């Protein structure tokens, strides 16, 4: 089964991170990906750009009715990136999520619906 691991945090805090700290964060994420690969979880993932560049398309009766700037809701945490892992059990995905190099924020672990071929 595949599990989406969604990383939420306050992107305003990233403006305060030094170049050296960013390098350590990148190295930690690379190590996370290497461990997931070694465990056969076929990791993939991306970091998302700023919410300032996001747009939300609102729908009504299946028709787009409005495009607005930014995320659809005002929150203290924003979706900053994600990983997609193949795991036998959700407990395996949670175990890996606990190893992510985040000091604040939250991590959502969610099973992906598998449609038939």
In a domain, 94, yes or no: yes
Q: What is the DSSP letter of 11?
A: G
The pair of structure tokens assigned to 112 is 């992906």
Q: Give the domain range for residue 31.
A: 2-111
In a domain, 32, yes or no: yes
CA distances from 108 to 23, 58, 63, 99, 102 (A): 24, 24, 29, 13, 13
In a domain, 71, yes or no: yes
Domains of the chain: total: 1
Q: What is the DSSP letter of 98?
A: T
Q: What are 7-32's pLDDT values in tens digits? A: 999 888 888 889 999 999 999 999 99
In a domain, 117, yes or no: no
Confidence of residue 3 (pLDDT cuts 50, 70, 90): very high
What CATH number did the domain enclosing 56 receive?
Answer: 3.30.70.1060
Q: What are 48-107's pLDDT values in tens digits? A: 998 888 888 888 888 878 888 876 566 778 899 999 999 999 999 999 999 999 988 999
Which sign, positive or negative, has the C-alpha torsion 36, 49, 9, 28? positive
pTM: 0.85
Q: What is the DSSP letter of 64?
A: E
Determine the Cα–Cα distance for residues 87 and 17; give it in Å rounded to an integer.
32
């Amino acid at each position: 089964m595949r599990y989406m691991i969604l990383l939420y945090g306050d992107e305003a805090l990233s403006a305060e991170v030094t170049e050296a700290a960013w390098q350590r964060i990148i190295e930690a994420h690379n190590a996370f990906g290497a461990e997931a690969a070694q465990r056969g979880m076929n990791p993939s993932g991306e970091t998302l750009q700023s919410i300032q560049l996001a747009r939300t398309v609102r729908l009504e009766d299946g028709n787009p009715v409005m495009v607005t700037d930014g995320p659809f809701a005002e929150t203290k945490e924003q979706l900053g990136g994600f990983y997609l892992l193949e795991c036998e059990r959700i407990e395996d995905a949670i175990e890996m999520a606990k190893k992510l190099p985040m000091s604040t924020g939250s991590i959502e672990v969610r099973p992906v619906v598998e449609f038939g071929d």
